[in-house]
Structure 1
């Protein structure tokens, strides 16, 4: 149980691919100008991570070491192709917006890294959980960054929600700031870098505070153990 808890903590926080490993930054910075764009790419990445981790873990004993990386890339590329064709069929407008960044999931270093570092060395269950948690961690950063940029850039949240949830979701758009003229920098690439930098800085501040709290609590725990002994 502790092993699964550690996998969850690593994927969501301690080893988050976007905030700690700083992998997959190209799509992360390019498409996160709205919440929906970030969510769309994030869900595609989650499916890719879970499916590729599961297949690679299942086949790990049959894959020769000298052909390991090419086989990993072929498996990931096959999964991404299925996702790309599915999005083109059922989410065509969103697919057009995300464009080249859907097929570029194949080259996302975080996916190949998890295949090599985890799925190729562990059983199917932990590998599936690792892919899911890493994917959720990456998607959370996509959505938060997309929300920041959308809110500051155009004063809304969940703009164009119908692209993912259908025509019934047209009313989901939240106008936070009425008659807002917008802030173009937030929607441009420099705004993505600034936003991601702020998120990384916030995580580092939280980590330092948690570490300091643990350090302060350690002597108290030691004294309690001594008294009990």
Structure 2
């Protein structure tokens, strides 16, 4: 099955991946690593980049072989492709960001089980051209990574009063001074604990739903009603 360039709505793909069908905010997929490692922006960004790399590689590869894989072995083939790219991401992190790799721990290999990645491979990449699959993977990966970073920033800011702490684990000594300290005497420690991830995620989802409802209300056509004033005429004989 193939698609022509005219049949692919890239604007819809972009909006769906980033907002309308965001895997974390709407589909609620991949919540286990999202809630587990978002204690800081650094952790969230590291996992987000790894997930994005796996999404791009697996979606592109699935699209390339979509016409050559029998339906009976389609899902096992997709899982093997995803596992291969997760291994690549894991080896890259071991080579260049080893300390961050140790912090993220088991959640890097668990990208294989992320339903958002397998879902995009099966629902989109296996039915569209490599270019469309790449753009879809990019938007879905960015949407997922942005939610990770937003949740990490929320928990780090109110949980320990800083932002971008430990960025040198990801970008090396160049980022050693990137940490911003906002306050040290007010900390909501529960945000740094596992329950805090649920609270933060709930606030983010609630904020998205409120914004969506507000935009829907603004888009409703305004019905202007004009009241006709009736005049009473008194007739005297």
Instruction: Provide TM-score, normalisation by structure 1.
Output: 0.93
The alignment status of 1:117 with 2:123, answered yes or no, reads yes
For structure 1, list consecutive stretches of 5 or more residues without a partner in the other structure. 221-229
1:204 to 200, 204, 209: 209
Superposed CA offset, 1:165-186 (max 9, x none): 1112111000011x33532200
Runs of 4+ in 1 over 6 A off after TM superposition: none
Question: What does residue 147 of structure 2 align with?
Answer: 141
For structure 2, list consecutive stretches of 5 or more residues without a partner in the other structure. 1-5, 225-237
Any idea what SS the aligned residue of 2:23 has?
Answer: coil
Question: What does residue 87 of structure 1 align with?
Answer: 93
What is the aligned length?
Answer: 218
Q: Check conservation: 1:118, 1:127, Cα contact below 8 A.
A: yes
Higher deviation after alignment, 2-11 or 27-36: 2-11
Pairing of 1:26-37 with structure 2 (within 5 A) = 26-37=32-43
Any idea what SS the aligned residue of 2:122 has?
Answer: helix
The alignment status of 1:215 with 2:231, answered yes or no, reads no
The alignment status of 1:98 with 2:104, answered yes or no, reads yes
Q: Check conservation: 1:162, 1:170, Cα contact below 8 A.
A: yes
